[in-house]
Amino acid sequence: MRHQRSAQAAAARTGRRACVFVARYDTFVARCDTFVDEHDTFVDEHDTFVDEHDTFGARRDTAAAGSDARGAPRGADSAGRSREAMSAFSLSRGELHAERVPLATIAERFGTPCYVYSRAAIEARYDAFDGAFADLPHLVCYAVKANSNLAILDLLARRGAGFDIVSAGELARVVAAGGDPAKTVFSGVGKADSEMETALVAGIRCFNVESAAELDLLNAVAGRVGKRAPISIRVNPDVDPRTHPYIATGLKESKFGVAYNDAPALYRRAAGLAHVDVQGIDCHIGSQITDLAVYVEAARKMFALVDAIESEGAALRHIDLGGGLGIRYDDETTIDPAAYARAVRGLHGERSHELLFEPGRFLVGEAGLLLTRVLYLKPGDTRDFAIVDAAMNDLLRPALYAAWHPVEPVRPRAGDARRWQIVGPVCESADFLAHDRGLVIAAGDLLAVRAAGAYGFAMSSNYNSRPRPCEVVVDGDRVHLARPRERIADLFANESMLR
């Protein structure tokens, strides 16, 4: 009996010790949980500090960039790369982010290839350009051809932008996105009569007429629908924009516009047409222009032509100086909108004409990138190939213009870089995104092809029966799917076989 009581007492002591141990263990777990919570709080506070530091730095840089006498914002730093674009896509904690969203998270959620745009960068660029001309009567008409996604058109329409279109399809997009047809100008050398009628009924701001034949057809269409067509004549000032020949539009040999010396006679002819209302004058000398002197030369010629035309009795209400401001792809030094505004202001003088501008690439180019994944690495005897899932059908500019785009790993690796040819799956030797890039990469890595916000998706195709990428817009820590990835079934949904 005594032994039984002893065993019971020992068991009781063991039970109490077990309870104490469990209690201590629970306390330990609770402390661990508290530590984890405090660690998470610390990480959150650290992230907040980093974001606030970045915001402070951006504000500091904006202030340091200065302003003109009116306080107009500056759009680019001395190196040419816009600060808002750099801050919109930057490394944080070892990986590339779009605003506050890791690009890897976007790839995981939406797949690749994928176009990614920054709302903040687009709005900052628009505000910089628009603000530079704040003391002059003006309208910024975004060139829709650069990137016609409805989400981007919506952002710019909310900002007060007008639009520069080159087709009835682009007009339909502007209207669908909430843009104002009365702030829309219609450019292009080949407007069909059906497109003219659509634009007249919509009530657009102005047709930029590019030939005598177009003027006659527009007059006839306007008479048929009982309207007067508001027009400006696009003049070719024969100014060399010093850019790629495929995007130079202001030389004598270009298909665009009316010859400078022929313009006064065409204005006289337009004044005698019953269904045309002469409103202004227009020029656009090219795209990806990085030399301010080129714009000054073109503007000087245009203002002189305005004086000559008005000396004959015409009354022009606006002067459209076009677009074409370049961005930094490689080592270009770009044009500061404030410097451009100062130059135009000096030439505009005491004139009362409203100024119109048609920037496209400048507003959206650096605000977007193409996200792609490395499928295979294929070392060779003379060249090493990184085969990615994006191709020339997704981003045509390198194949079409031999254009240079920055390419960066989303999660940079340590190691010795090799010189890679970044190529896609399309069955063409011209299918490349970049040549001879020194990178440390592996199969499965994500790459960001930078400065792809303009003439990227807009020029994409279904070549090789490849679905086009999705498009997303990042707004702070939120991601908006602006266009879903096409499905293979979409490629032939509207096709039919012979019966």
What is the spatial distance between Cα 289 and Cα 119, in angstroms, rounded to a whole number?
24
Q: What are the residues whose beta carbons fall under 8 Å from the beta carbon of 8, sequence distance 6 or more?
A: none
H or E stretch covering 142: strand 138-143
Q: Check if the beta carbon of residue 479 is closer than 8 Å to that of residue 371.
A: no
The continuous run of DSSP H or E covering 180 comes out as none
Report how far residue 358's alpha carbon sits from residue 445's, in angstroms, rounded to the nearest whole number: 38
Kindly report whether the peptide bond that precedes residue 113 is cis, defined as omega within 30 degrees of 0: yes
Contacts of 79 (CB under 8 A, 6+ apart): 328, 333
Report strand pairing: 432-439 vs 368-378.
Answer: unpaired
User: How many residues appear in the chain?
Assistant: 499
The number of C-alpha atoms within 13 Å of 310 and in the hemisphere containing its C-beta is 17
Q: Kindly compute the dihedral angle of the four CA atoms of residues 7, 12, 18, 19, in this order, to the nearest 10 degrees.
A: 170
Which member of 19, 206, 427, 470 is catalytic?
Answer: 427
Rama region for 135: left / alpha / beta (φ>0; ψ in -120 to 50; rest): alpha
Find the helix or strand (DSSP H, E) in which 229 lies: strand 229-236
| Distance set, CA 305 to CA 187, 261, 299, 321 (Å) | 20, 9, 10, 13
CA 4 to CA 239: how far, in whole Å?
Answer: 111
* Interatomic CA distance for residues 103 and 408, integer angstroms: 12
Residue spans of alpha helices (H) in 292-335: 292-310
State the Cα–Cα distance between residues 304 and 324, nearest whole angstrom.
Answer: 21
Active site residue 19: no
Q: What angle do CA 248, 250, 256 make, to 5 degrees?
A: 95
- Of 336, 338, 319, 318, residue with least CA distance to 327: 336
Residues belonging to the active site: 427
